[in-house]
Chain A
Amino acid sequence: MSKKHILYQGAEAEICLSEYMGFKVVKKRRLKKTYRLRYIDSYLISSRTKEEAKLMIDARRSGVSVPVIYDVDLRDGVITMEYIDGKRVKDILNSLSEKERKTLCREIGVNIARLHNNDIIHGDITTSNMILMDDRVHFIDFGLGEKNHEIEAKGVDLHVLMEAIESTHSKYSDCFEYVLEGYKKELEGDADLVVKKIKEIVKRGRYR
């Protein structure tokens, strides 16, 4: 059997490279947090694992690139999935040319719209959670996602990305405008309602 090879240790889970029936796979294991009550902890781990797997399958059906799921273990909070061998958008965005950045951000927006067309809320759309492989953006970590048709949820979803861009790619804050361009193009409903909602959410934050 393969030995444990940690690819990434996140706040919530560890991502290990492993093998599953001859495929190179990633195992995402949610970590037990001893700072919180055991009841809260096991509830969060099993419900988030289940929700994440469901959302990933839904996302794939919506035409968004996500890793293929091979196995789900609710008790230990492990999802076994396809290994995406690419580069994190967070690491490459600042070094792209203006034109490449624009294309990539629009592509990101198109994909978010596809998710939202199917009421899939990612819940943590940051540039750390997008991997570029074979010229396609792959979305990972649906761990905080949910199914929700409300404009509020879609607005909050995009607002998370806006904040991530402002904090991590502050020199390129126009990126979010490009994301919105792609989003508006692809969204089936009225995208302006969502954009309006984002502005409302920004104002709702403290001291805006």
Chain B
Amino acid sequence: MICLGVEGTAHTIGVGIVKDSSDKCRVLSNVMKIYQPEHGGIHPREAANHHALYVADLIKEAIEKAGVNSSDIDLVSFSQGPGLGPCLRTAATAARALALTLNKPILGVNHCVAHLEVGRGTIEDCNDPVLLYTSGANTQVIAFAEGRYRVFGETLDIGIGNCLDKFGRTVGIDFPCGPKIEKLAMKGEKYLALPYTIKGMDVAFSGLLTMAEQYYRKGEKIEDICFSMQETAFAALTEVTERAMAHTEKNEVLLGGGVAANKRLRNMVRIMAEERDASFFVPSKDLCIDNGAMIAWLGVLMYKSGIRMKIEETFIDQRFRTDMVDVTWRE
């Protein structure tokens, strides 16, 4: 079956088309536009306006790139949550309009679960991973247990991406700050002690952020601060991921989310996996960040397991938790 997915939880409006072939996901097209605020952080309404401006063209582009006719699409799916209300509503409205026009079924899917499923769907040998999902808003360690994707660990305050972005704003780095902080960190030499906060399998970053900002005000070199932030925060993330792997007795680890693009984070998790004799997986970059293809793929899985939604059931849920999804497509 061929499914078109619309992603719109935060900065990104994305449209992807996937096809299932012997239970694996083949991405036919995956296009997106990312909203860049001029100043400060994301403004939900402006992001939504941005999405509304581009979504129709993105749908056209995705269909063209996939080399299919719109009548070949069997299913439309969209990100039902979690995310920013205005953004979610824009993506959902576009998906509903498309499904009604094509007279095809529609499914709303959970964004966080989609990050995990796209890894399983596109990577050979990735079957039952622990997912370290790190993005701007989300920082979760997710694994399958007793019929659901359960959150074994998560941030108790802010997401790691948000932590990096907030620090970036304090020191005058433009959004998105992660890649720039990564570059600066490579030139860092001195480690400045920062709070390493782990509670059980949960992490917290606000203390680290405050202290990093204090170092900046005290005149410490920005490169050293970035280096220290990465080393401390990523070590904590790697540690809780390892704890979740030990706890759930799983031997695969998967990265997802925008921060998974960071080479230092990848490297730490890879080393951890190697030392445990576990497999390490990262989807390709455009499947790691927010994208439509992962939404489409989760739609396929849900549809094939018998899930159906009426249009009036496709309302969005800003607080759609990972563990609210009944995973009917897995044993």
Residues of A within 8 A of B (CB): 9-12, 33-37, 39-40, 44, 123-126, 128, 144, 156, 160, 163-164, 166-168, 170-171, 201, 204-208
Contacts and interface: CB of A to CB of B under 8 A. Distances in A.
A207 B200 contact: no
24 contacts: A9-B246, A10-B246, A11-B242, A12-B239, A12-B243, A33-B272, A34-B275, A35-B268, A35-B271, A35-B272, A36-B235, A36-B238, A40-B196, A44-B196, A128-B247, A144-B198, A156-B156, A160-B199, A160-B200, A170-B146, A171-B146, A204-B156, A207-B81, A207-B320
Contacts of B272: 33, 35
A203 to B, nearest CB: 10
B30 interface: no
B115 to A, nearest CB: 14
B315 interface: no
Nearest to B146: A170
Given A12-B243, A167-B150, 17 more contacts: A34-B275, A35-B269, A35-B271, A39-B191, A40-B191, A40-B232, A144-B198, A144-B200, A160-B200, A163-B202, A167-B145, A167-B146, A167-B152, A170-B145, A206-B155, A206-B319, A207-B321
A126 B200 contact: yes
B199 A156 contact: yes
Interface in B181-202: 191, 196, 198-202
A40 B320 contact: no
Contacts of A44: 196
B198 A160 contact: no
B199 A206 contact: no
B99 interface: no
Contacts of B156: 156, 201, 204-205
A207 B242 contact: no
Contacts of B323: 166
B290 interface: no
Nearest to B202: A160
B108 interface: no
B85 to A, nearest CB: 12
B200 A35 contact: no
A206 B82 contact: yes
A35 B268 CA distance: 5
Instruction: Kindly list the 9 A-B residue pairs having the minimum CB-CB distance in the complex, ordered from nearest.
Output: A207-B319, A160-B200, A36-B235, A11-B246, A35-B268, A35-B271, A11-B242, A11-B243, A167-B150
A207 B145 contact: no
A201 B202 CA distance: 12
Interface of B: 81-82, 137-138, 140, 145-146, 148, 150-152, 154-157, 191, 196, 198-202, 231-232, 235, 238-239, 242-243, 245-247, 267-269, 271-272, 275, 318-321, 323
Contacts of A167: 145-146, 150-152
Contact of B247 (A9, A125, A126, A207): A126
A164 B202 CA distance: 11
B145 A34 contact: no
Given A12-B243, A36-B268, A208 B235 contact: no
B153 to A, nearest CB: 8
Contacts of B196: 40, 44
Contacts of A163: 151-152, 200-202
A40 B231 contact: yes
Contact of A208 (B137, B146, B202, B321): B321
A144 B242 CA distance: 15
A125 to B, nearest CB: 8
A123 B197 CA distance: 11
A9 B148 CA distance: 26
Contacts of A39: 191
B264 to A, nearest CB: 10
Given A11-B239, A34-B271, A168 B145 contact: yes
**Which of B247, B272, B319 has the largest number of chain A CB atoms within 10 A?**
B247
Contacts of A160: 199-202
A171 B155 CA distance: 25
A37 B198 contact: no
Contacts of B321: 206-208
B231 A206 contact: no
A112 B281 CA distance: 39
B120 to A, nearest CB: 19
B152 A208 contact: no
B239 A33 contact: yes
A205 to B, nearest CB: 7
Contacts of B267: 35
Nearest to B152: A167
Contacts of B150: 166-167, 170
A204 to B, nearest CB: 7
Contacts of B157: 204
A36 B156 CA distance: 22
